[in-house]
Copies of this chain bind each other. A is one copy, B any other.
Amino acid sequence: MIDPEEQPSSFIHHNSTQEPARRDIGHFLFGHPLQTADEGHQTIRKRVGLAVFASDALSSTAYATQEILVILAGAGTMAFGYVFPISIVIIGLLAIVVISYEQIIHAYPDGGGAYIVAYDNLGRYPALIAAAALLIDYILTVSVSVSSGVAQIVSAYPQFFEYRVPLAIIFVAFITLINLRGVKEAGAAFAIPSYFFIVIMLLLIGVGLFRMFSGSLGVVLDPPHVENLGKSTLTNFALAFLLLHAFSSGTAALTGVEAISNGITAFNEPRSRNAGITLIWMAVILGVLFIGISFLARAVQAVPSEAETVISQLARTIFAGPGWLYLFVIVGTTVILILAANTAFAGFPRLSAMLAHDGFMPRQLTYRGSRLVYSYGIVSLGAIASVLIFIFQASVTRLIPLYAIGVFLSFTLAQSGMARRWWRSGRLKSADNPSHAAHGLQYDKGWFIKMLSNGFGAVCTAIVMGIFAVTKFHDGAWVVLILTPVLIGVFVFIQRHYTSLATGLSLDHYGEPPPYLSRHRVLVPLSSVHQGTLAALRYARILSDDVTAVHVSIEPEDTERARKHWEKWGRGTRLVIVDSPYRLFLEPLLIYIEEILATRQPNEIITIVVPHFVATHRIHNLLHMQTAELLRRELLSTPGVVITEVPYQIL
């Protein structure tokens, strides 16, 4: 403890790492502040990093194949054969995206999400587009992952089918609570379920392939009913559209691939290299699982259904019935889906904090460690995701059209940004003014080939986004296409406010500071004289020598009593009695204050000291006039008036 009195210097550095002794229940429920933001001090190895960052990407294998089949069903069961070729194309796309992100990881070793890369290389508006897309995407990650998780449970326990919406909302509420308490994004909590999922899925695929080639693999017994099964004859155009549509749905497999690029700082040094290797490992596992599931889904003739997921059909066919292994698959899939939802709860506030830091979101969000403000973001995320689950009845198929478009928009912007960066890097050699260079930009020998690779990635993802927007427009993509500009509008609105405020409050051209205040009048409104009033008077007397107590006279007896009490306890302080012919309280007080204000001198300030009863039970607050609150509402914009509550309580 540093006593400021004893410090001769006018700058005192106060160091304290102990925690405040908070008394409220929130502390018990939500836990002590955690050191989550302090990522630099505690880095992780590749194998942990894989578990931490891969859940989002890997979990999408739980629904991507099924969503391809859902669309193909529109052309009849024969069309299900296209699932494998479509999956191959998606794996190709995955490779392109991963190569692009590999380059981002090395160019932005401090973490480079689409927002940062776009801001750095393309400018403000592309960055805001990426940010809006990502925020929407985080919300949908929660909705889609939890809905898919519930779909897995419901597949194993069909009796819960009709409760899937409340079930999903309970899951979201649970994750929200967990995050309000604070979770570390590291350690066994993530590693065990992630590796369990990888192992059980590889086992599923391995056994499936073995049984298939040994000829013992049959087809799904008693498959669920397929809704929306279409005719098998389509025009060439309709078929092409259908295939593109199915492809769009399948691209959901790529969601979450960008996660590692946001969290590079969490890795051990050399972090870019470690993160890059982890990214490639993750992509390989993702590719194997996705292609394996798609291949086997076709082999066992799994069908898309809201009642039973493709994963469930696969597992019970390959493992010959709903035994332990089947249950492991279901549990593993559900848990990794919940973990994936959980990563959005980390990403959403992190991105919000970046946006807030740049002035595009409320500045309070930058204090992302502070529970008081951090929690708003978490609760909003949980609430919006729940609303979406309710609106779309926890159906992954109905949520998917809103999902991947934002992901691909951010992919495209990130890679365009990178392409522009390499182009600039190439020009650096000849140009002599590196002042306009983006963050850490230096000449790179391989700039041309890197530019081509990122550029090709950008073109591919842009095409996918276009396909997505066209084929899924009707299904719900339009919502995202409207929401994105609205969000950008909000960002710009907020930034304008901060900019104009900073200009208005700036001291740069402020000249001399105003002179000291020379006169301080203090008013103490009171309705009766009691210990609380005396506490306010005691405080008022230390503020100024010019104290006036003001009593609004409503009942003559009350006024008489107050006057008598004041004579004894008022210590000679002036008491003004204001008549209230209409039994009003606030209005006569305001008139009196305004009359005082009218004769105010330039360097005078008026403080209104209001006794404020602090109730032991919150309900009691309803029984007391919130005089200070009412005065504040009336006088907040009046210069020269300060309203102070002096709390008193019965001890």
- Which residues of B lie under 8 Å from residue A605 when comparing CB positions? 539, 542
Is B498's CB under 8 angstroms from A514's CB? no
A353 nearest CB across to chain B (Å): 9
The residues in A between 1 and 56 inclusive whose CB is less than 8 angstroms from any CB of B are 1-4, 7, 10-22, 33, 35, 37-38
- A203 proximal to B (CB < 8 A): no
Is A623's CB under 8 angstroms from B497's CB? yes
A516 nearest CB across to chain B (Å): 6
Is B592's CB under 8 angstroms from A14's CB? yes
Give the interface centre of A500, A584, A637 by most chain B CB atoms within 10 Å: A584
- A170 proximal to B (CB < 8 A): no
For the complex, what is the distance from the CA of A554 to the CA of B16, rounded to whole Å? 13
- A513 proximal to B (CB < 8 A): yes
- A123 proximal to B (CB < 8 A): no
Binds B, one of A58-66, A246-254, A565-573: A565-573
Is A587's CB under 8 angstroms from B517's CB? no
**Interface mask (A491-528 → B, CB under 8 Å = 1, otherwise 0):** 00010011011101111001001101100100000000
Given known contacts A572-B10, A650-B504, A16 and B579 CB-to-CB distance under 8 angstroms: yes
- Which residues of B lie under 8 Å from residue A274 when comparing CB positions? none
- Which residues of B lie under 8 Å from residue A1 when comparing CB positions? 595, 598-599
- A183 proximal to B (CB < 8 A): no
- A548 proximal to B (CB < 8 A): yes
- A582 proximal to B (CB < 8 A): yes
Given known contacts A369-B583, A372-B586, A650 and B501 CB-to-CB distance under 8 angstroms: yes
Q: Which residue of B12, B19, B368 contacts A583 across the interface (Cβ within 8 Å)? A: B368
Given known contacts A3-B599, A577-B13, A20 and B372 CB-to-CB distance under 8 angstroms: no
Binds B, one of A105-113, A152-160, A638-646: A638-646
Is B531's CB under 8 angstroms from A33's CB? no
A430 nearest CB across to chain B (Å): 34
- Which residues of B lie under 8 Å from residue A530 when comparing CB positions? 502, 505-507
Is A576's CB under 8 angstroms from B630's CB? no
For the complex, what is the distance from the CA of A113 to the CA of B648, rounded to whole Å? 38
Given known contacts A38-B581, A534-B513, A605-B539, A364 and B625 CB-to-CB distance under 8 angstroms: yes
For the complex, what is the distance from the CA of A509 to the CA of B7, rounded to whole Å? 44
Is A582's CB under 8 angstroms from B369's CB? yes
- A188 proximal to B (CB < 8 A): no
Given known contacts A516-B542, A622-B362, A637-B614, A367 and B17 CB-to-CB distance under 8 angstroms: no
A259 nearest CB across to chain B (Å): 22
- Which residues of B lie under 8 Å from residue A648 when comparing CB positions? 505
**Interface mask (A608-651 → B, CB under 8 Å = 1, otherwise 0):** 00000110000010111100001010101101001111111111
Q: Using CB atoms, name the residue of chain B closest to A376.
A: B622
Is B614's CB under 8 angstroms from A636's CB? yes
- A541 proximal to B (CB < 8 A): yes
A569 nearest CB across to chain B (Å): 6
Is A517's CB under 8 angstroms from B529's CB? no
- A211 proximal to B (CB < 8 A): no
**Interface mask (A531-573 → B, CB under 8 Å = 1, otherwise 0):** 1101000110111100010100010000000010110111111
- Which residues of B lie under 8 Å from residue A392 when comparing CB positions? none
Is B16's CB under 8 angstroms from A592's CB? yes
A8 nearest CB across to chain B (Å): 10
A-side binding surface: helix, strand, loop or mixed? mixed
- Which residues of B lie under 8 Å from residue A37 when comparing CB positions? 582-583
Give the interface centre of A581, A588, A623 by most chain B CB atoms within 10 Å: A623
Q: Which residue of B366, B516, B570, B591 contacts A16 across the interface (Cβ within 8 Å)? A: B591
- A574 proximal to B (CB < 8 A): yes
Q: Using CB atoms, name the residue of chain B closest to A568.
A: B507
Is A573's CB under 8 angstroms from B10's CB? yes
Is A636's CB under 8 angstroms from B647's CB? yes
A559 nearest CB across to chain B (Å): 10
- A590 proximal to B (CB < 8 A): yes
Is A367's CB under 8 angstroms from B507's CB? no
Q: Which residue of B529, B572, B576 contacts A14 across the interface (Cβ within 8 Å)? A: B576
For the complex, what is the distance from the CA of A605 to the CA of B540, rounded to whole Å? 11
The residues in A between 322 and 351 inclusive whose CB is less than 8 angstroms from any CB of B are none
- A319 proximal to B (CB < 8 A): no
- A578 proximal to B (CB < 8 A): yes
Q: Which residue of B367, B566, B576, B579 contacts A584 across the interface (Cβ within 8 Å)? A: B367
- Which residues of B lie under 8 Å from residue A574 when comparing CB positions? 4, 7, 10, 12
For the complex, what is the distance from the CA of A17 to the CA of B581, rounded to whole Å? 7
A534 nearest CB across to chain B (Å): 6
Q: Using CB atoms, name the residue of chain B closest to A520.
A: B542
Q: Using CB atoms, name the residue of chain B closest to A543.
A: B543
The residues in A between 399 and 421 inclusive whose CB is less than 8 angstroms from any CB of B are none
Given known contacts A584-B367, A630-B372, A362 and B14 CB-to-CB distance under 8 angstroms: no
Q: Which residue of B372, B569, B651 contacts A507 across the interface (Cβ within 8 Å)? A: B569
> A residues touching B (Cβ–Cβ < 8 Å)?
1-4, 7, 10-22, 33, 35, 37-38, 362-364, 366-370, 372-373, 494, 497-498, 500-502, 504-507, 510, 513-514, 516-517, 520, 529-532, 534, 538-539, 541-544, 548, 550, 554, 563, 565-566, 568-579, 581-588, 590-592, 594-595, 598-599, 605, 607, 613-614, 620, 622-625, 630, 632, 634, 636-637, 639, 642-651
Given contacts A14-B577, A520-B543, 14 further A-B contacts (CB under 8 A): A7-B574, A10-B574, A10-B575, A12-B576, A12-B577, A20-B590, A367-B585, A369-B582, A372-B630, A500-B650, A516-B542, A517-B538, A607-B644, A614-B636
15 of the cross-chain contacts (CB-CB < 8 Å) are A1-B595, A10-B570, A14-B579, A16-B579, A16-B588, A19-B587, A20-B587, A35-B582, A366-B554, A367-B586, A498-B623, A504-B531, A513-B538, A513-B571, A637-B647
Nearest 8 A-B pairs (CB), nearest first? A504-B650, A505-B530, A369-B583, A517-B542, A20-B590, A369-B582, A12-B576, A370-B584
